[in-house]
Structure 1
């Protein structure tokens, strides 16, 4: 990729992450990238297209930096801890990249929301594959519907992912120790999923 284009995208990621889409200044992006405003519009055409290009660049960068090749997880708790650790490490190394991805995924600009559809499909499919891999190693109770189990686990992981992501956004210097309360909460929720909440199914006629 052209060196000047990369400098613009790097500067755009920082500005969009720090200020958000609406408040971000293309003049400041020019200053950070040390290029003229005309060159930005030559490459990208508009602020909207620059934002979309920056998000795409951030996602590709993250995909190249984060390896998903590893030994299978023993359980969902181990998988969640590994995922959180990867986010922590990546956030420390590349805060602008991480911040823009989280912004575009969790709180995208209203006017661009539809244009970002599909950007995260690959990551979502990878997460589902990881979850399915763990589920395939677990012995479910007789009569438990696998499709319903997938939906319950997906909802639980979405909840934990959103909580850890929001925490990271507000505490960029967080350590794994800071996530112990969340890990404990997740572990307790997993126990409930595994063993249920009722001691015994009573006859409705009693």
Structure 2
């Protein structure tokens, strides 16, 4: 799967080569097509797999936590743990937004709208916004938090060695950034 993800990331759907995938995975082309009828079937399988990963992220989030900073920290930690298991999956999800192949775009758009819109609604649902200062535009603060989380995730991901334990260090690092932002945004 990782070989196929890498190839689609590198070349997009239209230009991706199943020859490169099987070479990287060290399997025969017959083995690949034993499971998938063609490149499109493989691609759509990976799209479904990627969206299942997103569902796993949502399943592992503590939605009883009403503090936005703590919830976002939990989201980031879950993503890091999953990223360790499937190193290219979140890159692939990001890439899907920009896929322009007519052969697969409609399917991606339909699934994207459901998975991400519902997910973002869940993440920001039941948050205690009364903790924010009155002079703060909460939407802009949430944008800043989201951008910080994305940047933090990229930084943390680049520092993770293949067999490192994802968790305590990343959590402490996030908490130090979150504390700075919390002092800026909260009462």
Is residue 102–residue 165 contact of structure 1 (8 Å, CA) maintained in 2? no
Alignment deviations for residues 82-119 of structure 1 (CA, whole Å, 9 cap, x no partner):
112101111122223344224435xx356579654354
Is 1:59 paired with 2:51?
yes
How far apart, in 2, do the equivalents of 1:12 and 1:186 lie?
Answer: 36
CA RMSD of aligned residues (A): 3.9
How far apart, in 2, do the equivalents of 1:194 and 1:54 lie?
Answer: 41
Match of 1:30 in 2: 22
How far is the alpha carbon of 1:24 from its aligned partner?
4.6
How far apart, in 2, do the equivalents of 1:36 and 1:162 lie?
Answer: 39
Match of 1:134 in 2: 127
How far is the alpha carbon of 1:67 from its aligned partner?
1.8
Specify whether residues 62 and 35 from structure 1 end up closer, same or farther in structure 2 by C-alpha distance, changes over 3 A only.
farther
* TM-score using structure 2 length: 0.66
Work out the number of aligned pairs and report it: 176
How far is the alpha carbon of 1:132 from its aligned partner?
2.9
How far apart, in 2, do the equivalents of 1:154 and 1:20 lie?
Answer: 33
How far apart, in 2, do the equivalents of 1:182 and 1:38 lie?
Answer: 40
In structure 1, the gaps of 5 or more residues are 1-8, 196-206
Match of 1:21 in 2: 12
How far apart, in 2, do the equivalents of 1:167 and 1:14 lie?
Answer: 20
Deviates more, 1:156-165 or 1:23-32: 23-32
Secondary structure in structure 2 of the residue aligned to 1:73: coil
How far apart, in 1, do the equivalents of 2:91 and 2:133 lie?
Answer: 41
Alignment deviations for residues 121-162 of structure 1 (CA, whole Å, 9 cap, x no partner):
3234323333231136x36677x89xx53x224312321232
Is residue 50–residue 92 contact of structure 2 (8 Å, CA) maintained in 1? yes
In structure 2, the gaps of 5 or more residues are none
Match of 1:199 in 2: none
How far apart, in 1, do the equivalents of 2:124 and 2:20 lie?
Answer: 42
How far apart, in 2, do the equivalents of 1:140 and 1:159 lie?
Answer: 18
How far apart, in 2, do the equivalents of 1:28 and 1:60 lie?
Answer: 25
Match of 2:159 in 1: 171
How far apart, in 2, do the equivalents of 1:120 and 1:27 lie?
Answer: 28
- The structure, 1 or 2, with the larger RCO (C-alpha pairs under 8 Å, 6+ apart) is 2
The structure having more radius of gyration, on CA atoms, is: 1
Specify whether residues 191 and 119 from structure 1 end up closer, same or farther in structure 2 by C-alpha distance, changes over 3 A only.
farther
